Amino acid sequence: MPGWNCLVTGAGGFLGQRIVHLLLQEKKLQEIRALFRVFRPKVKEELSKLQTKPMLTVLEGDILDAQCLRRACQGTSVVIHAAATIDVTGATPRQTIIDVNLKGTQLLLDACVEASVPIFIYTSSIAAAGPNSYREIVQSGREEEHHESVWSEPYPYSKRLAEKAVLAASGSTLKNGGTFYTCALRVPYIYGEGSQMLSAVVTDALHNNGIIKKIGPSSVVNPAYVGNVAWAHILACRGLRDPKKAPNIQGQFYYISDDTPHQSYDTLYYTLSKEWGLHFDSSRTLPLTLLYWLAFTLETVSFLLRPVYNYRPPFTRYLLTVSNAKFTVSYKKAQRDLGYEPCFSWEEAKQRTGEWIRSLVEQHKGTLRTKTP
């Protein structure tokens, strides 16, 4: 195919930055348009230094700004939509999450049809599939099993409906008469250098005598390294641009994981950071069943107080379920259709992430020395 252009939304985020860097190595790619609401100065500076072929254009704009999206999509061959608001704690207003994740996706789909962008790759989430109960066990779940989240919480709700909209749009007619090809990648919890969530866990531990708070001691999940998840997006892009492969990929969703061992969230955090002095919280916790019903009570109080006071419970049934469920998936379908194989082994991912955590620990120690008279 002739030269092509690619728009990446969420390009200033944890995953989006990795996708942009991998795109720089793609053949005949003329321009990468990196869209983010507001780039951090350091990220913007780093991207600005990448002015090699293909050309990298940094765009700042809101995913809810239809005019901005139309401009960004003009003359674009592929859209990789990685922008999202991720929150399972209730800290972000419900409507904000739904607007960004669902309305923003629909606006972008509309902009693609209007600008005749033929390919759309959506970064979905395993949250669209579940888990629905901490008692249910899903082991190496597959796409044909049709797992679907039943939660009304804004994050799983918005990602599930946004994914449905993306897949339903596949095969529709573009303004220029062409065909719109879409697919979705359901990604799990992503770890690696630069992860804000992992950074928060480590920072909290460093301010708590190196003790890692218990987050999901009962869980069994398959986290994935950010480099592998980004690579899956590149392969999806190649697949949909290939006339032979595209018919089998369009309208499909794929679970993306890697060879990181299935483990609890707590074990993952400890494994990645133990070399730098961080350790488990050895204190006992309440039984999960009791915590679940306590969460139900707190949610009821929050609902009753809503007309006069915005009370946010410290934890919810959804958060407890996500943090303690046994829910893993298989990437065999992506392997078959996309040719996906993880680029980074568990050992390499662990080493890279561990070195980054070491820098956080050293930075923390440096701050303490500066504050000490």
**For the segment 48-83, what is each residue's pLDDT rounded down to a tens digit?**
777 667 788 899 999 999 999 999 999 999 999 999
Portion of the chain with pLDDT greater than 90, in percent: 79
Domain that holds residue 95: 4-192+222-260+329-343
Among the ranges given (99-113, 174-188, 204-218), the one the predictor scored with the smallest mean pLDDT: 204-218
Does some domain include residue 101? yes
CA torsion through residues 130, 317, 207, 311, sign? positive
Burial of 367 (0-12, 13-18, 19+ CB in 10 A): exposed
98 domain residue, yes or no: yes
Which residue type does 134 have? Y
276 and 202 Cβ atoms separated by less than 8 Å = no
Q: Per-residue pLDDT averaged across 344-364, rounded?
A: 94
Contact residues for 131 (Cβ-Cβ < 8 A; gap 6+)? 138, 321, 322, 325, 326, 327
Q: Is residue 307 situated within a structural domain?
A: no
Cα 315–chain centre separation: 21
Tell me the Ramachandran region of residue 67: left when phi exceeds 0, alpha when psi lies from -120 to 50, beta otherwise.
alpha
pLDDT of residue 42: 81
pLDDT at 275 over 70: yes
Model pLDDT for residues 109-165, shown as the tens digit of each residue: 999 999 999 999 999 999 999 999 999 899 999 999 999 999 999 999 999 999 999
The reported pLDDT for the residue numbered 1 is 47
CATH code, 186: 3.40.50.720
Q: Out of 53, 159, 213, 333, which one is annotated catalytic?
A: 159
Distances (CA, A) of 5 to 57, 105, 270, 308: 11, 20, 41, 51
Confidence band (pLDDT; 50, 70, 90) for 371? low
Burial 160-188 (b: 16+ CB within 10 A, else e): bbbbbbbbebbeeeeeeeeebbbbbbbbb
The answer to the question of residue 143 being in a domain is yes
Whether pLDDT at 273 is above 70 = yes
Domain count, the chain: 1
Residue 173 lies in a domain: yes
Q: Cα separation of 272 and 192, whole Å?
A: 10
Is the residue at 37 inside a domain? yes
250's CB contacts (< 8 A; 6+ apart) are 170, 171, 181, 182, 183, 240
pLDDT for the residue numbered 306: 87
Q: Considering the domain boundaries, does residue 233 fall inside one? A: yes
| Strand stretches in 226-335, DSSP E | 252-255, 279-280, 326-329
> Quick one: CA torsion of 357, 359, 360, 366, rounded to 10 degrees?
150
Band (373; pLDDT cuts 50, 70, 90): low
Does the active-site annotation cover 159? yes
For residue 171, what is the enclosing H or E element?
none
> Residue 117's closest CA among 61, 79, 72?
79
User: Does any domain span residue 285?
Assistant: no
Token pair for residue 215?
């987050």
Q: What is the pTM of this model?
A: 0.94
Does the pLDDT value for residue 243 go beyond 90? yes
